[in-house]
Amino acid sequence: MVSLYSKSNKSKILINNLILLLLPLGLILSDWIIGIFSVGDFLFFSILLILLFTQNVFLEIMDYKILSLISVYLAVNFFLNIEFNNNFDANSAIAATIKILYYSVFVLITYRFLSIRNLEMSLLKYLNIYSILVILIGLYISLAIYTGNLPFKFIWKLTRTDELSYFYNETIRMRSVFSEPAHLGFYLNLNLSINLFFKRKINFTKYINLLLLGGIILTFSYSSIAIMIILILLYGVNLLLENGTFRFNKMAFIYMILILLLIYISHDFLYKSLIERSFSIINGEDGSASSRIFGSWEYVQQNNFLIGNGAGNTPPITNNFAYMISDLGILPFLMSILFSGFILQRNVGLGLLFIFLNFQKGGYLSPTLSVLIICVILYSKREKKFKSFESKSTIGHDFKYNS
């Protein structure tokens, strides 16, 4: 009996670590394209197969209700667009509908697995390890571009290799294994916000956060740096106003000093990426930010805002809220607003992050939104008492869930 239990426990630990290994990797490699799918799609499909065939993962009644509502709405939306939308592409809608249902199942099953196994801290460790590796790869690529003597384009074989993707004027912008500097900023800001706003902390968090701050600054992504600054300011305010009263907090003071030092060291780069970019946006010379904020709503028309253009029928836009109403109509858009409010109510920092990142990077039919949803739900939930967690924490270990 002891031997059987030991084998079973080792098997669970192996599965835990495999899922924890693949989930962040799927997000990181979501820009790598093979055919019509990303590497992230393949990795997430592998996760789903592993969970379905090797684990006893049970969805709750609420999960089945959510899946049923999504399925019914997509079916009704499909037939309404066939009836009233002359420009409706049924083939694109069918493909998009399949992806929506697939990602919905993936999010629910993966979240339940991570939550019941109490793997929040283990996943956070993997996220931080991957962030360090991604930043190191990004620094190597930047050095290779500066010197011209080191190979680096082999890393981008499955994504963009054009010069515009890593230059802003004459400044090299770090994008590591991603196709855009902003996509790297998306991942690092997600990791940073969890480190800051999740109640439990891993070892060396403050040093890792400084590395994340440096990585985000080196992207020279206007939106990524702006999000980072807002997150840090909010975290500082939270520390100073802890327990509802103003009090001096040594950790907040140290963070502020280190951030000011980092800003001073990189002030030339920050001036180019923030100040000059702001003037370019105001003068209309840089259309990327204005198109993200305003231009992404151009596909929402008075005659289609109720049912949208149909799933998969809107051209790619970099704003998921606009994408939602353009493709699927007013109801999913309102649900996304309510979900944002729900996360804000549970955790202000992660709620704001969810809103900001959905404005920064579009593509609700991509792996990135799925991981973002899993993370904001997982790390914003109310703290529960776990027997064995307080005394020890081992990456990937199976902790029993106490309801």
* Per-residue pLDDT tens digits for 135-193: 999 999 988 888 877 777 788 888 887 766 777 667 788 999 998 899 999 999 999 99
Taking only the tens place, the pLDDT of each residue in 119-132 is 999 999 999 999 99
Where is pLDDT greater, at 402 or 259? 259
pLDDT for 284 equals 59
Q: How many whole angstroms separate alpha carbon 174 and alpha carbon 167?
A: 9
Q: pLDDT tier at 207 (50, 70, 90 boundaries)?
A: confident
pLDDT for 362 equals 74
Q: What angle do CA 311, 315, 319 make, to 5 degrees?
A: 85
By CB atoms closer than 10 A (0-12, 13-18, 19+), residue 97 is buried
Q: pLDDT tier at 243 (50, 70, 90 boundaries)?
A: low
Closest CA to 223 of 168, 181, 167: 181
Point out the least confidently predicted range of 7-21, 32-46, 114-128, 260-274: 260-274
pLDDT for 235 equals 87
Q: Which residue do the tokens 């109640």 mark?
A: 199
Taking only the tens place, the pLDDT of each residue in 298-341 is 777 777 778 888 998 888 888 889 888 999 999 999 999 999 99
Helix (H, G, I), strand (E, B) or coil at 106: helix
β-bridge pairing 37-38 and 167-168: unpaired
Taking only the tens place, the pLDDT of each residue in 88-105 is 899 999 999 999 999 999
Closest CA to 119 of 353, 402, 394: 394
Task: List beta partners, residue 167.
Answer: 172
Please check the confidence at residue 58 and state whether its pLDDT lies above 80: no
In one-letter notation, the amino acid at residue 156 is W
What global pTM score does this model have? 0.85
Point out the least confidently predicted range of 231-245, 267-281, 315-329: 267-281
φ, ψ of residue 38 to 5 degrees: the values are -95, 160
pLDDT for 341 equals 95
Point out the least confidently predicted range of 208-212, 228-232, 240-244: 240-244
* 296 secondary structure, DSSP code: G
CB distance 135 to 402 below 8 Å? no
Q: pLDDT tier at 360 (50, 70, 90 boundaries)?
A: confident
Q: pLDDT tier at 391 (50, 70, 90 boundaries)?
A: very low
